[in-house]
Amino acid sequence: MDTIHPQKIAQGGPLVRFADVTKSYGDLTVLDRLNLDIEQNEMVSIIGPSGSGKTTVLRVLMTLETINDGVIYVDGEPLTHMPKGTGLEFASEKYLRDRRSKIGMVFQQFNLFPHMTALQNCVEAPMKVLGLSRDQAEDRALDLLKLVGMEEKKDHHPSRLSGGQQQRVAIARALAMRPKVMLLDEVTSALDPEVIGEVLNVIRSLNSEHSLTMIMVTHQMGFAREISDRVCFFYEGKIAEQGTPDQLFDDPQNERTKQFLHAVLDAN
């Protein structure tokens, strides 16, 4: 791609900006010139059918996938690109590594290190990436494990924890990096129904008491409605409709949104 010219994001502007972002796999376009701004302390839920691009939004923001076109900005700086002359070019691995710590992600499958205890899982990255001492990292980790109700399980390995407990440790681990924005990818989909509530309670607490900026991909419509400032309905790699939860769930305007909500809500 040719060098492109950066957008200017004013101080106090959106924390995250997708500017004409395209992501393709061969002939399949998963994100199609996506434009999306996420404000500081905003909670945005992304809903939509399988294959609509929901999880790809999180994966390219976490720099787990490389975009094909457009630019993603985080905290006023380009994330996917770095300055070159008066324009931008695709970011180097070092540039990405330096900025990736602003973003925390919690995955469907927990992704905890099986050979480490809950505490060790939360300590490793702050020491290696942020340069914290072991004492500093452990103090921070203990505070966060207490926050998610897992302080008493700090010395347990993942194999001794339930799915809900593992997911709460995963949330603490992501928070240990003090990210600017937290990404939640279907964090209850791998959980047994009886433990989904405990994870949702943690997210509810983070949202109401800690003013985190969060982007959540979810199929939990009731939870999305309760917790979100804004809900975006994705279809074929674009935002087909977005609005407040009341607007989107009570008075959808897009025919595809109506069909999706009718199918999902009736199924429940």
- Domain limits of the chain? 114-178
pLDDT score recorded for residue 14 = 93
Return the sign of the alpha-carbon dihedral for residues 19, 186, 46, 231: negative
Q: What are 78-137's pLDDT values in tens digits?
A: 999 998 888 899 999 999 988 888 999 999 888 899 999 999 999 999 999 899 999 999
pLDDT greater than 50 at residue 72: yes
pLDDT score recorded for residue 267 = 65
Q: What are 193-202's pLDDT values in tens digits?
A: 888 888 888 8
- Strand arrangement of the beta sheet that strand 77-78 belongs to: 28-38, 16-25, 69-74, 77-78
Which pLDDT band, with edges at 50, 70 and 90, does 13 fall under? Answer: confident
pLDDT greater than 70 at residue 8: no
Residues whose CB falls within 8 Å of the CB of residue 116, separated by 6 or more in sequence, listed in order? 124, 157
pLDDT score recorded for residue 1 = 41
Q: Which helix (H) or strand (E) holds 31?
A: strand 28-38
Residue 152 DSSP class: G
pLDDT greater than 60 at residue 6: no
